[in-house]
Structure 1
Amino acid sequence: MMPDLDVAVVGAGMAGLTAADELARSGLSVRVFETGEQVGGRMAGFRHRGYTVDTGAEQISPSGYRATWELLARLGFRDRDVPRLGGRISVWRGRRARPGVAEARGMLTGAGLGLRGRADLARFQAWARRHRHLFDGDHPETSPLGTTTLAELGGRYHRDLHDYLLQPVAGTFFGWDPQRSAAAPMVSLLLDVGDASRWRTYRGGMDTAARMLAARLDVRTGQTVRQVVSGTGSAQLLTDAGAVSARAVLLCVPAPVAARLHANPTEQEARYLAAATFHPAVKVSCLLHRPLAPRGGKSTYVLLTPAVADGALSAIIFDHRKHPDRAPAGAGLLTLMPARAATASMLDRADSDVAGTLTAAAERYLPGLAGATWRTFVHRFPHGLPEATPAVLRQRAGFAARPTGPVDFAGDWVLQRPSSEAAVRSGALAASRTRAHLSSRAAVPVRVR
């Protein structure tokens, strides 16, 4: 029987949309299935009364994001469409914000590190520069750090390096526990993206590229895929709307979701899917009557709150500093991120409880926050970010070398690189693998269902 599609893509995040676009441009019939009502996945966003709210990823870099910039060029983005961030990354220490985290000039200002911490940071940076050629963001398992955890790496240096740099950066941007996550993916990524003062965001919201891709694709939102079965030369999807057959299926969802959906993965795929663990993420957006800033950090875009100083929050993001279009003139927009240890418990709590807990904790850094806030929104991601544990790094090389088949995968977890660039890059990789798998077969027409 003739399949309904050449390729069915499950998940309308950046990985799925990138893969679908690549395959559609090759002349294949492609359909994207998305459980949610909007596209973007962990790069989604929404608009509310003049505010533009980014619910997931926050920024990109001009360095280390090759696949993203190639995609943006195809979509017609210009330089002004991806402006520089309007603020700096700071860390809280000694009752004030200390700017300069992940910047070269942070060595001069301290960026929250004491003298011994700065000296050890310089020592670590010198080591990283000498070994730069051995770090590959697409293959973190090959780096000289091997399966060393972040905590083990931090233990080689003054405690400031762990407490005021590695832990807060990993905890905020990756949702990681330094005891669980390997250092290599984070170090590889930081080497690739370079100085934080050069990072950028999307004008109009971080979901801009996702919305543009979806507009030119066959995307079915609000349609849940329940199961995917790999067959001989094709695959079958069971959706809420019925069964769909395709010559190939791409599972562009977090690894735990892919493991649940895929009825018959190979043994190698099953091992990697089981090892590719995730940690949840929660964010609270606070819409403010007026902009606020922390003491010592009027130019701050992200305020990191280290675990040694705060057990409730991991960071405050000042979205109105990120770009002026995020909030109306004279207003403010913040994102509150809970500490890792508190995140899982917030998945099932009432929105009002979660927002109340985090806004109360943030008053320490922003006196008057409660009075300035007129609306809050809570965003939950049960599968927030890949943990990049030593266990999954040990499985990654074998998974990357697996043969192609009727079911393949895409997502940042494929590369164990928690970033939107990894989503885009893995989507392009999955499209290439799928084209290779289908190369001996002609495209089929889409059958109207």
Structure 2
Amino acid sequence: MTNTRPSAAIVGGGLSGLTSAYRLQEKGWDVRVFEAASIAGGRVNTVAESGYLCDTGATVVHLTYYRWYMDLAAELGLHVSPSPPYFGVYRDGRVRLLRMDRPLRSGLSTDLISLGSKIRTLRLAWDVGRAKFGGLLDSVDFHKGAPIDTETCREYAHRALTDEIDAYLLDPICRVMQIADSDKVGKLTLFSAMGNVVNGQFGSLDGGQQCMVQALCDRVPVDLNTPVQSVSEGATGVEVVYSDAAGNPCSGTFDACVLACPAPVARDICEEHRDLLTPLCDIGYTRGLGVSIGTTRPPDSPAVFVQVPSCEDPAVAMIFIDSNKSPDRAPSGHGLLGVGWETDAAAAWFDRSDEEIVERTLTSIFRMFPELRGTVDYTHVRRWEHCLPFLPPGATGPRAAFQAGLRRESRVQFAADYMSEPGQNTAIALGTRAAATLDAGRRRAGVPQAATSLGGG
């Protein structure tokens, strides 16, 4: 009996690729996910060792803003637990505590910045509010923000705010969002963070962030250690050339394909879209170093994460206190910290030994949390060659050109981090969009499709 179900190849087993496969399978497609690495998930990864659950990549979700993520988690039977509302910013030897759920009240009462700078933040609030209500802060369709994507955060601060606001507010936010300092990151990223993420509450998946990856892998077929060499679209199908887990050359023909891999990989394997992808590759990715530190006692701070300004520490950009984020991340009575390095420092130290990286990381940890000296009982180092798509000023231009150059009737669609603002929620939204576009094209074969709009966050 002839199989009349349409087939799709998904190149990349990260969250966007797995979501595409899951949604297409729901719509009656046969799907196959090709993942070059030995594990699926991309930047969503949880390491379970020595009683610790270390979220080595994406670590938290926003309980209200991440609606695509929350809906999928509920659909898969996963539970997201809220985290405490506290976060901190390190300044002059002390972590200054603030509250995510009371940004105005805690911002007015904090001694993080001076009264004059607090008054000046009214200009920042006005500019962010105007951009948000003007429809410019859409994390899925990030290129909508092109009109304000004109300067770095530091240039904006020097023009409209104060150096103190840049040092202890803007720069720390940039280091969390892009693991890069404010002189490298476009103002649009800052505005998006403040307009969409700052007010509210964070949470995390029970059992580790990779539980969503595992739940999707349990539902769709995934071939690990299976790199793809080329993707070619023809009149009747898409040919995918790949190597299987044993290294044998293979090929297959599918009705459609979703490319959910980093831009340099997509450019190298998909000749038809090379001209569109090259400008995105030229912008590049940040490199990342993540260090997990387990301790036999928790830190004294109740903060879920601590932002570290570049003027305080050029290497360490942020510290997530995972044992505060969710009690299941560390054994009872222990602490677990996830440390993210700034991208230039990460690039400089990328090839150093794990021991050297841990030693440098602990220098920062002990300075900020001296009570943890002599308590470390676990460490883990993770390197990310393609950590986050870099978002300097003007990055929306190549992204908009890429989106405009795609054909909705094409058998090859894209669902990847370089298309918009990176994040778990955006990955799921883009994966859903790619699946919907392909399925609409199948149902209306030969008719150009209007862009599938998911809107919002």
TM-score between the two structures when normalised by the length of structure 2: 0.88
Q: Which moved further from structure 2: 275-284 or 4-13?
A: 4-13
Q: CA deviation at 1:422?
A: 1.1
In the alignment, is the contact (CA less than 8 A) between 2:293 and 2:338 conserved in 1? Answer: yes
State the AA in 2 paired with 1:43.
V
Q: Does residue 10 of structure 2 align to residue 9 of structure 1?
A: yes
Poorly superposed stretches of 4+, deviation over 4 Å: 2-5
Q: 2:431: which partner in 1?
A: 427
The secondary structure found in structure 1 opposite 2:422 is: coil
Partners of 1:70 and 1:205 in 2: CA distance: 17
Partners of 2:179 and 2:340 in 1: CA distance: 10
Q: Which moved further from structure 2: 397-406 or 375-384?
A: 397-406
Q: CA deviation at 1:94?
A: 2.2
Q: 1:382: which partner in 2?
A: 385
Q: CA deviation at 1:397?
A: 2.5
Q: Does residue 316 of structure 2 align to residue 313 of structure 1?
A: yes
In the alignment, is the contact (CA less than 8 A) between 2:305 and 2:321 conserved in 1? Answer: yes
Deviations 1:129-158, CA, capped at 9 Å, x for gaps:
244221231333333523232122222201
Q: 2:326: which partner in 1?
A: 323
Correspondence for 2:284 among 269, 274, 277 = 277
Q: 2:216: which partner in 1?
A: 213
Q: CA deviation at 1:28?
A: 0.5
Partners of 1:277 and 1:178 in 2: CA distance: 17
Q: CA deviation at 1:366?
A: 2.0
Q: 1:99: which partner in 2?
A: 97
Q: 1:158: which partner in 2?
A: 162
Correspondence for 2:229 among 219, 226, 229 = 226
Q: Which moved further from structure 2: 282-291 or 257-266?
A: 257-266
Correspondence for 2:81 among 75, 83, 91 = 83
Q: 2:298: which partner in 1?
A: 291
Q: Which moved further from structure 2: 127-136 or 422-431?
A: 127-136
Q: Does residue 304 of structure 2 align to residue 301 of structure 1?
A: yes
Q: Does residue 139 of structure 2 align to residue 141 of structure 1?
A: no
Q: 1:446: which partner in 2?
A: none
State the AA in 1 paired with 2:342.
A
Q: CA deviation at 1:370?
A: 5.0
In the alignment, is the contact (CA less than 8 A) between 1:100 and 1:109 conserved in 2? Answer: no
State the AA in 1 paired with 2:292.
S
Partners of 1:4 and 1:379 in 2: CA distance: 40
Q: Give aligned-pair identity as a percent.
A: 27
Q: 1:445: which partner in 2?
A: none
- Superposition map of 1:9-408 within 5 A: 9-77=10-78, 81-86=79-84, 88-100=86-98, 103-110=103-110, 112-134=112-134, 135-137=136-138, 138-143=140-145, 144-155=147-158, 156-196=160-200, 198-241=201-244, 242-265=250-273, 267=275, 269-293=276-300, 298-367=301-370, 369=372, 371-401=374-404, 402-404=406-408, 405-408=410-413
State the AA in 2 paired with 1:246.
F
Q: Which moved further from structure 2: 405-414 or 204-213?
A: 405-414
* Number of residue pairs matched by the alignment: 431
Unpaired segments of 5 or more residues in structure 1? 443-449
Partners of 2:127 and 2:267 in 1: CA distance: 38
The secondary structure found in structure 2 opposite 1:396 is: helix
Q: CA deviation at 1:299?
A: 1.2
Unpaired segments of 5 or more residues in structure 2? 245-249, 447-457
In the alignment, is the contact (CA less than 8 A) between 2:177 and 2:193 conserved in 1? Answer: no
TM-score between the two structures when normalised by the length of structure 1: 0.89
Partners of 1:231 and 1:266 in 2: CA distance: 16
In the alignment, is the contact (CA less than 8 A) between 1:363 and 1:370 conserved in 2? Answer: yes
State the Cα RMSD in Å.
2.3
State the AA in 1 paired with 2:106.
G
In the alignment, is the contact (CA less than 8 A) between 1:256 and 1:278 conserved in 2? Answer: no
Q: 1:412: which partner in 2?
A: 417
Partners of 1:227 and 1:318 in 2: CA distance: 42
